[in-house]
Structure 1
Amino acid sequence: MELSAIMSPANYPEKCCSYSQAITLTKRRQIVQSRKLKYVRTTSPSLKLPPVITDCDNAEVIGARECKGNEWIHFVGVGGCGLSALAMLALKQGYEVSGSDMMWSDAMDALQEEGARVYIGHSELNLRKNNGLVPDSLVVSSAIRGGNVEILHAESVGIPVYKRGAWLGRITKGYNLIAVSGSHGKTTTASMLAYVLNAMGDDLTAVIGARVPQLAERNIICGTGCNFVLEADEYDCCFLGVTPQIAVVTNVDWEHVDMFQDEEAVKTIFRKFIGQIRVGGHLILCSDSPVACSLVNKTGSGSALPVLHNDAFQISTYGISSCNDWHSLSISSNSCGGSDYQLLHKGLHIADISLQMPGVHNVLNSLAVIATISALSTDQKNFLSSIASLKLHLQNFEGVSRRFERIGTVRGCHIYDDYAHHPTEIQATLQAARQRFPFQELVVIFQPHTYSIER
């Protein structure tokens, strides 16, 4: 097949989201290790976050129920941020876990400390034990290409092989899934949402594609409740494997140019993702992003503001502009180097919000969190009565590793590390740096994200 045909939107589902139907995973034993988190957790009795799935006790939720036996899952490419989080979650839920990668990483250190068997290099020997047993499932990173020796061996002996998106569909089935997507900002937004919900008393599960220093397990939360916060990645069409109850779209931009040939291809895949929101669900959309707005239908003409609508689910918008349901006003810098702003809902002042993190993009991220928690709440009165707790935990959130992370000071020069590699992200990072250091000289060193950028 020609490269252009592979990248065609018509080929996305077949290329990216094939499912293995070989096994059904149900009622796994969950082992939750209690650790003291780096925040004060407050339970707000008035904030009720009911699961949309009312029969959760009977749902097929992987890792949520007691069972006999212990399933073995092997992760190929376990050192990466995406698969290492899934491997750690599997460990916490009582699975036997092994994994392999070509290079060692800090994530593999953490997995090994928790009891996983991790290997440098890929080999069919990694899939065998002395008693002759083989893994029950193989989960494969998007970075792993065809011809991998472990995948080939698994297929030859009948071990089910799952791509990351398909595995996410398995492990989130039966949960009230909140999937945070977008070309930029999804990691920080998902992390902030998981942190705040947990701190407010929701016993959720979460999977994040980066280290969050304030979470005990860094990139996951392993809870016993029915809510599941997921950073939903569009790369390799991974997010097409899940069916969210609530989907967040932070923005849509031409990102991952190795996967998507143009902006229209990106829009096509996001439309498919939005189309997978469960009937009666909710879309949280940043309508300041024109491309994101183009994903859904609009009503209204002339002088009237267009209204976004969908017959299958509700839509709530957020952004800086006053035309959004949730929007900010009077953004200013605070003494922590972060941002303060007034929170408005449909023109009504709700609260004054303070963040430690600088940048307008983090104001937008926090608005997404507020809109999502409001959608989770039973009614607006319950939400508004808990706004003080929400404000506190938003203010306490310190951010995500490699997202404008201060790593040290040398001869009076503050050194920050940021993952930004797309022009839009770089612009946002520089705006945040200038906000925190309005009068100092900024020196920027850029490292290409992948070797292919240097070509």
Structure 2
Amino acid sequence: MNINSIKSVYFIGAGGIGMSALVRYFLSKGKKVGGYDRTPSELTEKLIEEGADIHYEENIELIPEECKCKESTLVIFTPAIPQEHKELVFFRENGFEILKRAQVLGMITHTEKGLCVAGTHGKTTTSTMTAHLLHQSHVGCNAFLGGISKNYKTNLLLSETSEYVVIEADEFDRSFHWLTPFATVVTAVDSDHLDIYGTREAYLESFNKYTSLITPNGYLIVKKGIELSPRVKEGVKVFTYGIGEGDFRAENIRIGNGEIIFDYISPLGNINDIQLGVPVYVNIENGVAAMALAQIAGVTDEEIKKAMPTFGGVDRRFDFKIKEENLVFLSDYAHHPAEIKQSISSIKALYPGKKVTVVFQPHLYTRTRDFYKEFAASLSLADEVILLDIYPARELPIDGVTSQLIFDCLENKASAIMCKKEDLTDIIAKREIEVLITLGAGDIDNMVPQIYNILKNR
């Protein structure tokens, strides 16, 4: 099916952060867009305001009539949707063209030059930073982002003139195998999604296969020291990046007064005194990777230096809600042990001597089962831990797998507490808070406004 011949598009799982960018893309192309999502959210309500016809009940009768013509309708679904979903079954049994989100992104990278960011963590911030650098330059870009950019208040950027598209290359369900990157960064290959892959070896092989999809004469930029055995086509240029090491690297790092400044060393041209817009330590390496992609795409050194300090970050990625001398509150999407370690370490480095309290909502039973010891080790870096129940997302419960597994392995249980989500605000209200961070990829973010009000109204 040719994208230009499509008159209507129907999304099953329209409210997901990746799916919603495609909803906006097809709305911008003048298509009729309908869809289903399990629950209303701020994002689905915005999509409805922008013209999408979205409902929240699994009901064939609620599918718009324009989306019931199989000759002119494309159906897009997320792998998180169960195969027995009534609407998915309806479209399947009636012979509709049904594609995964990743397949549609793959179609788009066949017609544009894909600048992709893959890896267990760092994808969203690095790809959003890359898109910001291009958008602020003479190059421009289209971008499908895995988070809401604070600069642009959206996860979709469009350009009528640029040949580049920035895409977050997601390894879940091997989605990134549909892409054909022109240039890609690989940030990390810490094991994850073992419910899909089974073994670490299979997980690593998936990344190795991904590198084989880079177009001839393209670019691969790999975080220095990660366990990757790339298989690239002839002519693909392979580089490394990092902090103090790699072909693209940060040197002469200066941290103080709430700022991070460093010199960017690159085979494509060095840039001194780069200032980070979101000054947390992990954004140094994210920034190096983003600047490497931007240079490859033709963004000038002057444009990069001017745009880097203006990067506002991404919702739920080191997202500061309160930043006062005696009180700090931020929300972060970290949901993997390595991300949590990075998140807490970065905050403790920013606020030495302050008590750091972490609220963590584990995401998925399988991930908790596979990594509960690693979660406990990372969370033990905090001064206080408030541990919520597991957010199931697409999964059914697993016998014996609860947040208690993590709690029992914490180094200092005396400064930790297990907590039901509905009791969280009461517990926070009774605590002396200096620095508070909420972590997790589930619905913990829905409580951020309530927590903000409690802290602000003390």
Q: What TM-score do you get using the length of structure 1 for normalisation?
A: 0.76
Choose which of 241, 245, 260 in structure 2 pairs with 1:339: 260
Query: How far does residue 362 in structure 1 lie from its aligned partner after superposition?
Result: 0.8
Query: 2:234 — aligned with what?
Result: 311
The aligned amino acid for 2:3 is L
| 1:411–1:359 Cα change, 3 Å | closer
Matched position secondary structure for 1:248: strand
| 1:155–1:369 Cα change, 3 Å | same
Matched, 1:271 2:194: no
Q: Which stretch of the first structure deviates more once superposed, 247-256 or 269-278? A: 247-256
How big is each residue's C-alpha offset from its partner over 1:339-369, in whole Å with a ceiling of 9 and x where there is no partner? 2112223598531211132333211111001
Higher strand share: 2
Report if the CA contact (8 A) 1:165-1:237 is conserved: no
Gaps of at least 5 residues in structure 2 are: 369-389, 391-400, 402-458
How big is each residue's C-alpha offset from its partner over 1:8-49, in whole Å with a ceiling of 9 and x where there is no partner? xxxxxxxxxxxxxxx2223x7xxxxxxxxxxxxxxxxxxxxx
Report if the CA contact (8 A) 2:133-2:294 is conserved: no
Q: Which has the higher contact order (CA 8 A, sep 6+)?
A: 1
Query: How far does residue 397 in structure 1 lie from its aligned partner after superposition?
Result: 0.5
Query: How far does residue 310 in structure 1 lie from its aligned partner after superposition?
Result: 6.0
Report if the CA contact (8 A) 1:358-1:432 is conserved: no
Q: In structure 2, how many angstroms separate the alpha carbons of the residues matched to 1:365 and 1:131?
A: 40
Report if the CA contact (8 A) 1:93-1:222 is conserved: no
Choose which of 104, 109, 129 in structure 1 pairs with 2:65: 129
How big is each residue's C-alpha offset from its partner over 1:238-262, in whole Å with a ceiling of 9 and x where there is no partner? 1111111111111211022322223
How big is each residue's C-alpha offset from its partner over 1:303-358, in whole Å with a ceiling of 9 and x where there is no partner? xxxxxx86341112211243x111111222143x2421122235985312111323
Alignment of 1:211-226 (within 5 A): 211-216=148-153, 218-224=154-160, 225-226=162-163
Matched, 1:372 2:293: yes
Alignment of 1:276-291 (within 5 A): 276-287=213-224, 289-291=225-227
Q: In structure 1, how many angstroms separate the alpha carbons of the residues matched to 2:92 and 2:269?
A: 58
Choose which of 291, 294, 317 in structure 2 pairs with 1:403: 317
Query: 1:201 — aligned with what?
Result: 138
Report if the CA contact (8 A) 2:33-2:52 is conserved: yes
Q: In structure 2, how many angstroms separate the alpha carbons of the residues matched to 1:245 and 1:280?
A: 8
How big is each residue's C-alpha offset from its partner over 1:70-91, in whole Å with a ceiling of 9 and x where there is no partner? 6100000011111111111111
Matched, 1:354 2:267: no
Matched, 1:118 2:118: no
Q: In structure 1, how many angstroms separate the alpha carbons of the residues matched to 2:214 and 2:138?
A: 26
Query: How far does residue 409 in structure 1 lie from its aligned partner after superposition?
Result: 6.4
Give the 4+ runs in structure 1 shifted more than 6 A. Answer: none
Matched, 1:325 2:325: no
Matched position secondary structure for 1:178: strand
How big is each residue's C-alpha offset from its partner over 1:46-73, in whole Å with a ceiling of 9 and x where there is no partner? xxxxxxxxxxxxxxxxxxxxxxxx6100
Q: In structure 2, how many angstroms separate the alpha carbons of the residues matched to 1:78 and 1:283?
A: 32
The aligned amino acid for 2:356 is L
The aligned amino acid for 2:283 is N
Query: How far does residue 178 in structure 1 lie from its aligned partner after superposition?
Result: 1.0
| 1:222–1:126 Cα change, 3 Å | farther
Query: 2:343 — aligned with what?
Result: 429
Choose which of 154, 176, 183 in structure 1 pairs with 2:91: 154
Supply the RMSD in Å over aligned alpha carbons: 2.3
| 1:96–1:432 Cα change, 3 Å | same
The aligned amino acid for 2:141 is L
The aligned amino acid for 1:207 is F
Matched, 1:97 2:33: yes
Query: 2:109 — aligned with what?
Result: 172
Report if the CA contact (8 A) 1:206-1:230 is conserved: yes
Aligned residues: 367
| 1:236–1:372 Cα change, 3 Å | same
Query: How far does residue 391 in structure 1 lie from its aligned partner after superposition?
Result: 1.2
Report if the CA contact (8 A) 1:190-1:230 is conserved: yes
Alignment of 1:287-302 (within 5 A): 287=224, 289-291=225-227, 294-296=228-230
| 1:159–1:434 Cα change, 3 Å | same
Report if the CA contact (8 A) 1:358-1:433 is conserved: no
Q: What TM-score do you get using the length of structure 2 for normalisation?
A: 0.75
Report if the CA contact (8 A) 2:182-2:218 is conserved: yes
Gaps of at least 5 residues in structure 1 are: 1-22, 29-69, 298-308, 378-382
Choose which of 59, 84, 100 in structure 1 pairs with 2:20: 84
Q: In structure 1, how many angstroms separate the alpha carbons of the residues matched to 2:280 and 2:201?
A: 28
